[in-house]
Structure 1
């Protein structure tokens, strides 16, 4: 004879079966999910390195100009062109390549007389001024002094300036970059040794700045160059630099 249970007992039994089933499902799902380990940050060291190279400018750019005035634009232009042609011919005789010679700054300008009451307040044109310039790349600094005197003696009456430059700045910058990396590694090795660890592989490396040489300007009056003696020239030194930041893993 099967035992008979009260309705209240049967209701509690059903609730218990449902609770046990839910607990079993949760346990099964937890077992199926992968266990995620807590990520532990790897030990590392970050250092900044600096490198620089001192260089002497090895080329210069001369900017000279011929300024001619005359009563007519035609006459001023003719005089100006003749003087500039003499300068170019003289420069070429100094074994300066055509690619290093270029004209620049050509212009024709009217010259006015101050207005008077008799002219009705309108300024009158009394002549014309023609300007034309020449830029010469001097790749042998030793020729610079002679060339400055040469262009003035052949008709240049305005020397706008002399610009000193480095002909291969990118190569010198690469040298500075190598020194910056060496500097950063040296610092990292000192710290790692002091801490009793070894450097591992590089995690990241980034260039954080560069220093390029700026053109050095030298200005002088054309009259000061009217001499048979070459102009004394001192180029001085400039600095090319690089900064780098490198991160290493620590073993």
Structure 2
């Protein structure tokens, strides 16, 4: 992604200010913003096994309804609960090369989204006491990561300017602080790799996340 300081040409993402003078300097600016997660996505599973598919489904439905009722009782709105996956499969064992049906497994996975970081432990404790028998993962993220990313971009440009000024001073050259070209090196805005914690114990501390932006900036000497 490129930016220009002249009239925009909306048909292209790369713009340069023309200058016939020789001598440029290219630096990389890095900007980082530390943020506290504001959203948690909790993946929960109800898994049941029975010799009969009908019985496995019946038990699974009962346990899942129990978990959903518990979530509503502790104040988690139904719209913050999503069914992620559902499966019913036969289970086999092998004896002397023969396939023997052992029973059926039914798995129902839901994702609970909450913005109350202080209640994650309570949510997990209550549902595992009432139907849920597997916590797959907890993923933390932030609201509106684009806003934090734009702030990181600003810091990256400031960092690039400081580096260019320092190098120009060491070279004994004058620096035009208006960039000739800016190349955004980050592939896409937003939070970096999600922090995922498998089967974490309560209480849960989400910690902080960093949002980083990198710019390659060309200046005229």
1:40: how far off?
A: 6.0
Contact (CA 8 Å) 1:56, 1:237: kept in 2 or not? yes
Other-structure match for 1:145: 121
RMSD (CA atoms): 2.6
Residue ranges of structure 2 left out of the alignment (5+ in a row): 1-18
Distance in 2 of aligned mates of 1:113 and 1:74: 20
Paired residues, number: 200
Bigger relative contact order, structure 1 or 2, given CA contacts below 8 A and separation 6+? 2
Match of residue 165 from structure 1: 141
Q: How does 1:101-250 map to 2 (within 5 A)?
A: 101-112=81-92, 114-115=94-95, 122-192=98-168, 195=172, 197-199=174-176, 201-209=178-186, 212-220=191-199, 231-250=202-221
- Closer, same or farther: CA 46–140 of 1 in aligned 2, 3 Å: same
TM-score scaled by structure 1?
Answer: 0.70
- Tell whether the 8 Å contact from 1:199 to 1:249 is kept in structure 2 after alignment: yes
> Whole-Å Cα distance in 2 between the matches of residues 199 and 126 of structure 1?
76
Which structure has the bigger radius of gyration? Answer: 1
CA separation of 1:132 and 1:190: change in aligned 2, threshold 3 A: same
Query: Quick check: which one's helix share is greater?
Result: 1
Task: Select the structure that is richer in strand.
Answer: 2
Gaps of 5+ in 1: 1-38, 226-230
Task: Calculate the TM-score normalised by the size of structure 2.
Answer: 0.78
Offset from partner CA, 1:95-125 (integer Å, 9 cap, x none) = 3233321112311122345546xxxx64343
